[in-house]
Amino acid sequence: MDFEDTEAEAAFRAAVRAFIRGAGANFVPAPNATEAEIVGLARRWQAARADAGYAGFGLPESIGGRPGSMMEEIIFLQEQRQHPLAMVEIMTLGTGMALPTIIAHGRPDHLELVGRSTLRGDVVWCQLFSEPGAGSDLAGISTSAVADGDRWIVNGQKVWTSGAYYADWGLLLARTDASVPKHKGLTYFLLDMRSPGVLVRPLKQLGGRSEFNEVFLTDVSIPDRLRIGSVGAAWTVAMTTLSNERLALSGDAAVSRNLLAPLLRLAARTPSLDGRSLLEDSAFRERLASYHAAVAGVEHIAARISTAIARGGNPGAEATIGKMTLTRWLQSMATFGIELAGVAGAVVDPDADPDLYEVQQGFFLAPGYRMGGGTEEIGKNIIAERVLGLPPDIRVDKDVPFNHIGRGNTAEPRSPR
């Protein structure tokens, strides 16, 4: 075992580092930059990457991608993370989810339409999957698409859509047949977000931030040529998108929100019941140790995944562990940190105590992180069924036509007959 790059990896890393240090300097947002300015910077950074040959890792050369080793992508992301570049993560949805889906299930003209422009950041994507009435049970969506000659008329509401207000295109899941069981009546479309009838509204989360949107679709027209896969075959297509999403989330996201340092600083200057520093408190020390063991475990799982990739393998179900573990611990340690401050923990004031404030941000963000990319309950079902081989759950709605199933907050299902 070792933590060294191979010779080829080291050379690649050196080149990437030089590129990011050089060209990257132009893409660090000013402290007072508006979100629109930051998005603009992120788009232009993506173009600079594409020009330098560092965009679209694993994607075909025909659209300007860089086929070959996933290890190169890991190295690029590691280096990119060292620099305060503008919102680079907003590109992942396009390059990491939309394009792999289109390549697997779309036609050459789809790739022609959005391939190169996505790699260059001219096109940014959003995902129109979840709805108020269908979250974990994604196949239960009710946004409808009705055929009308060579186009489809779409009506419905989507939610939890990151970046919808600046996205150019969306990945849309809609129901084209409600008279068949839920998984079978879905169709997958590419939606031009500038289409008439698309209304985007920011959604304010419990902590006060607005990182997501609601998207209302009213008589939106989509040409049939923008359909991905056959009519009624969207479930397989969506699975491709979602498995790429889990992959994209596995290495990153909440990892950066490690509360260890602020908790240590907070404890060092906070007295416990007996007047000594909380650092000396055994309850604090035990919790901190188990937290560290979990965070370190996730980091080392990521290293094992990189190793598997470097050896030509694929990451397995362990890729889902990171997100589940870190978000649960983030919530638990944030609550614990606020409790450490005692009565003062009730005050949210970045100037009074920046460490406590950082902990409190974890408190407000953790509930959302636990849902992002699929709830941890769904994640555990996946581990249990696909890794441990446990039998599937009994699904009472599996063979029932969609229009006979109760869903969302409907009190009673309609009778199947």
Tokens of 140: 């239960």
Q: Are 303 and 319 in contact (CB under 8 A)?
A: no
Q: Cα angle vertex 243, ends 192, 91, to 5°? A: 45
Helix 354-369 vs helix 321-340: crossing angle, to nearest 10: 140
DSSP letter string over 221-254?
EEEGGGEESSTT-HHHHHHHHHHHHHHHHHSSGG
Residue 297 in the binding site for other proteins (CB under 8 A): yes
Contact pick of 290, 314, 344, 414 for other proteins (by CB under 8 A): 290
Interface pick for other proteins out of 47, 178, 203, 383 (rule CB under 8 A): 383
Which of 32, 149, 256, 311 binds other proteins (CB under 8 A)? It is 311
Distance (Å, whole) CA 84 – CA 77:
12
Q: If binding is defined by CB under 8 A, does position 112 make contact with other proteins?
A: no
**CB closer to other proteins out of 372 and 379:** 379
Contacts to other proteins from residues 57-86, by CB under 8 A: 71
List residues bridging with 57 in a β-sheet.
66
Considering the rule CB under 8 A, would residue 4 count as an interface residue with other proteins?
yes
- Closest separation in Å from C-beta 393 to other proteins: 6
Secondary structure (H, E, C), 82-104: CCCCCCHHHHHHHHHHHHHHHHH
Q: How would DSSP label each residue in 113-181?
A: HHHHHHHTTSS-EEEE--BTTBSSSGGG---EEEEETTEEEEEEEEEEEETTTT-SEEEEEEES-TTSB
Among 293, 344, 347, 352, binds other proteins (CB under 8 A): 293
Residue with smaller CB distance to other proteins, 146 or 260: 260
Q: Do 17 and 81 touch, CB atoms closer than 8 A?
A: no
The reply to whether 103 sits near other proteins by the rule CB under 8 A is no
Cβ 67 to other proteins shortest distance, Å:
21
Q: Which of residues 166-205 bind other proteins (CB under 8 A)?
A: none
Q: Does 2 bind other proteins (CB under 8 A)?
A: yes
* Residue 396 binds to other proteins (criterion: CB under 8 A): no
From candidates 239, 260, 347, 352, binder to other proteins by CB under 8 A = 260
| Region near other proteins per CB under 8 A, out of 15-23, 36-44, 165-173, 388-396 | 388-396
Distance (Å, whole) CA 301 – CA 358: 26
Of 81 and 209, which has the nearer Cβ to other proteins?
81
Comparing CB distances to other proteins, the nearer of 237 and 301 is 301
First CA to last CA across the chain, in angstroms? 63
Q: Name every residue whose Cβ is closer than 8 Å to that of residue 298 and which is 6 or more positions away in sequence.
A: 255, 321, 322, 325, 326
221 versus 307: smaller Cβ distance to other proteins: 307
Count of residues engaged in binding other proteins, rule: CB under 8 A: 54
Cβ of residue 269: shortest distance to other proteins, in angstroms?
12
Distance CA 363, CA 29 (A): 27
261, 344, 347, 352: residue in contact with other proteins (rule CB under 8 A): 261
Cα distance between residue 87 and residue 139, in whole Å? 31
Tell me if 3 contacts other proteins by CB under 8 A: yes
Among 92, 381, 400, 401, binds other proteins (CB under 8 A): 381
Rounded to a whole number of angstroms, the minimum distance from the CB of residue 382 to other proteins is 8
| CA separation for the pair 359, 295 (Å, rounded) | 16
Q: Do the Cβ atoms of 363 and 209 come closer than 8 Å?
A: no
Specify the amino acid at residue 260.
Answer: L
Residue 45 Cβ vs other proteins, minimum distance, rounded to whole Å: 25
With CB under 8 A as the contact rule, the residue among 268, 344, 347, 352 that binds other proteins is 268
From the list 21-29, 172-180, 248-256, 321-329, the region that binds other proteins by CB under 8 A is 321-329
CB atoms under 10 Å from CB of 212, counted, come to: 20
Closest contact distance (angstroms) between CB of 377 and other proteins is 7
Q: Which residue of 112, 377, 399, 414 would you call a contact of other proteins, by CB under 8 A?
A: 377
Binding site for other proteins (CB under 8 A): 1-5, 9, 71, 260-261, 264, 268, 279, 282, 284-286, 288-290, 292-294, 296-301, 303-304, 306-308, 310-311, 318, 321, 324-325, 377, 379-381, 383-385, 387-394
